[in-house]
Structures are given as C-alpha cells and as structure tokens.
C-alpha cells in the first residue's frame, strides 16, 4: 500500500496541469511567460539560421495552444502548454547558441589556417603586411611547356584550378582581400590571355571584378599572383 501511495503522489506531482488545481492567475502568468520567451527567441536575429526547426516549431505551436485554452478558461491545459512552450523556446535558443558557437569556432580555425592554405597555393607571405605573392609558369598554369597560340589558350590545369579554388576560399572569407595578376608573355596579347584565363575563373566563382586587377608585359610566360589585405 505504501508503494502504491508513493506512486500516486509521484504521478500527481508531475501531472498537475491536468489535475484541475491551476488557478486563472497562475495560468495567465505562465502564458505570459511563454509569450515573452517566444518573443525573446524570435528577437535573436543573430540565431535565425541556427535555431533548431523542431524545437522552435514546438515552442510556437504550444504557445498558441496555451493561449487558446486560456481563452476557453481551461486553465490547467493553458498552464501545461505554456510551460512546454517556454521550455522549448529556451531549449531552441540554447541549441542555436551552441550551433553558432561551433560555426564561429570552425570559421576562426579556418581563418587561422590562412597562411598554410595560401602557401599550398604557391603564395608566400611578405612579413606581416597582409601581402601574399607567388608566380606560376606555363607548366602550372596550363600543364604545357611551350607558349600556346593566342587563339588556342587551353583551360587551366587541374593543379592551377586547385590553387585558384584555395585562393577563392580565402577571398570569400575575407571580403577586403584583393588580387592582382601580373602576366608576362612573349607579347602583350598573349600575356593578357594568361591573366584573363585566371581572372575569368575567379569572376565565374563569384569574386567581384572590382577586387581584381591585372597588368601585362613582355617576358617569360607566366603569371604572378598577389593578394593584398589578408588577415593572418
């Protein structure tokens, strides 16, 4: 009998919302808390893309239920769903903060890896100036040994595409970074083709043309790539 009474007391303790003991004042207070918690969740514009959909949806659904039951004077149910809504709003914000913190951590890690990434693309830093520079010859640029004809410029080699992709990643992360291409060729027309073959790939991938500049001159075929404004 003692165990039975203990079980009954425990059930009564965890299910007061349906026991018929909630007063109107308590129900209204808890519904107000739910509304405020939901408003606080929605006000976190910085977490808009991080809030877990399931919990955020549950918070809104239960808040609407609580308000409807309050309007129908069903205070037990109004209280029950209000408490659920408040909890889901807080859980949603908490999970959103965790997700954002993890994303920020990854971005910071990526920022910290800028130097080795750019080095892998053949660019070396010039002290702490934020300038990275490196030259690529025809073998790297197009996987050819001799200068092609002006009208027969081949596509970038897989190695060069990989280098450009790495550079692109840094430019997407750091919007103030600019790139300059100093192209050389046996004539300026050919040098311009070299520069534009790299430039076109960057533009195609979303880099604003205003962040790119190039120069041409006669010389040994190839392109020197320089990034400025890199935050290390």
Segment 101-142, tens digit of pLDDT: 777 766 655 555 788 889 999 999 998 889 999 999 999 999
Nearest to 113, CA basis, from 230, 15, 225: 230
Report d(CA 141, CA 157) in Å as an integer.
6
**Mean pLDDT comparison of 40-44, 117-121, 211-215, highest-scoring range:** 211-215
Nearest to 38, CA basis, from 64, 59, 21: 59
Q: Decide if 69 contacts 77 (C-beta within 8 A).
A: yes
Percentage of the chain surpassing pLDDT 90? 63
Nearest to 91, CA basis, from 141, 53, 122, 118: 53
Q: Output the furthest CA–CA distance in the chain (Å, rounded).
A: 102
Residue 24, pLDDT score? 92
**Three-class SS of 19-72:** CCCCCHHHHHHHHHHHHHHHHHHHHCHHHCCCCCHHHHHHHHHHHHHHHHHHHC
Q: What is the pTM of this model?
A: 0.54
Over residues 165-195, the pLDDT tens digits come to 999 989 988 999 999 999 999 999 999 999 9
* Helix residue ranges, H only, the chain: 2-14, 24-43, 53-71, 75-112, 114-120, 138-142, 158-173, 188-204
Confidence of residue 3 (pLDDT cuts 50, 70, 90): very low
Average pLDDT over residues 211-216: 96
Report d(CA 131, CA 124) in Å as an integer.
8
Phi-psi region of 166 (alpha: psi -120 to 50; beta: other; left: phi over 0): alpha
Report d(CA 6, CA 44) in Å as an integer.
43
Average pLDDT over residues 14-37: 80
Question: Which domains can be identified in the chain, with CATH numbers?
Answer: 2-111 (no CATH), 114-228 (3.30.1330.60)
Nearest to 204, CA basis, from 175, 170, 161: 161
Percentage of the chain surpassing pLDDT 70? 88
For 143, list phi and psi in degrees, rounded to 5. 65, 40
């Amino acid at each position: 009998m003692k165990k039975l009474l203990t079980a009954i007391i425990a059930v009564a303790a965890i299910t007061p919302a349906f026991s018929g003991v909630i007063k109107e004042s308590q129900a209204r207070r808890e519904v107000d808390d739910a509304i405020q918690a939901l408003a606080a969740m929605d006000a976190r514009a910085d977490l808009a893309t991080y809030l877990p959909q399931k919990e955020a949806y549950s918070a809104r659904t239960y808040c609407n239920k609580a308000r409807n039951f309050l309007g129908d004077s069903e205070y037990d149910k109004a209280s029950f769903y209000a408490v659920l809504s408040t909890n889901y709003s807080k859980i949603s914000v908490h999970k959103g903060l965790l997700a954002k913190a993890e994303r920020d951590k990854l971005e910071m890690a990526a920022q910290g890896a800028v130097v080795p990434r750019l080095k892998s693309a053949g660019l070396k830093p010039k002290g702490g100036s934020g300038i990275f520079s490196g030259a690529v010859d025809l073998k790297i640029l197009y996987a050819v040994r001799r200068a092609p004809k002006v009208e027969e410029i081949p596509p970038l080699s897989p190695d060069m595409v990989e280098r450009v992709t790495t550079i692109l990643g840094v430019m997407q992360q750091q919007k103030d970074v600019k790139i300059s291409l100093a192209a050389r060729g046996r004539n300026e027309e050919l040098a311009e083709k070299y520069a534009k073959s790299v430039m076109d790939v960057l533009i195609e991938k979303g880099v604003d043309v205003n962040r790119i500049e190039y120069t041409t001159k006669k010389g040994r075929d190839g392109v020197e790539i320089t990034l400025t404004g890199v935050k290390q």
